Amino acid sequence: MASLKLINKPWGYEEILYENGDLVVLRMFIRRGEETSLHMHPNRDEYFIILRGKGILMYGKRKVPLKEGKMIHIKKGQVHQWKADANEDLEIIEVTTHLLEDLVRIKDKYGRTDTNETNV
């Protein structure tokens, strides 16, 4: 499947694979030892499949171990953060609604403070 758009991030990148107005399919690539911001989406649910690598999903107050094949549903309003293992990159497929700008960033080690945009 060809990429429609590549979005570089300080932790890796997101690649939009499919978009139809109702949903978006993305591939997230998080470099070993890196993490997304601690964030939430007030208006959208997200569904994830771990393609390869290991890491931790900070989900509310829980730490969920990640490994290949794990499927995850994050409900709207749930605070979460993806962290790749120190020794392995983490590759994830995300399926969500088209509301990509629906972001509230809570904490970010890269110093980003903006909200309501696509950079997690």
pLDDT above 90: residue 99? no
80-91: pLDDT as tens digits? 999 999 999 999
Secondary structure in 3-state letters for the chain? CCCCEEEEECCEEEEEEEECCCEEEEEEEECCCCECCEEECCCCCEEEEEEECCEEEEECCEEEEECCCCEEEECCCCCEEEEECCCCCEEEEEEEECCCCCCEEEECCCCCCCCCCCCC
Measure Cα distances from 45 to 29, 41, 98 in Å. Answer: 20, 8, 11
pLDDT above 60: residue 113? yes
pLDDT average, residue stretch 73-96: 96
Distance CA 26, CA 4 (A): 10
8-32: pLDDT as tens digits? 999 999 999 999 988 999 999 999 9
> How many CB atoms sit inside 10 A of residue 41's CB?
23
Phi, psi (deg, nearest 5) at residue 71? -115, 140
pLDDT bracket for residue 112 (50, 70, 90): confident
Please report the domains of the chain, with CATH numbers, ordered by start residue. 5-107 (2.60.120.10)
Taking the C-alpha atoms of 86, 117, 47 and 92 in order, what is their torsion angle to the nearest 10 degrees? -30
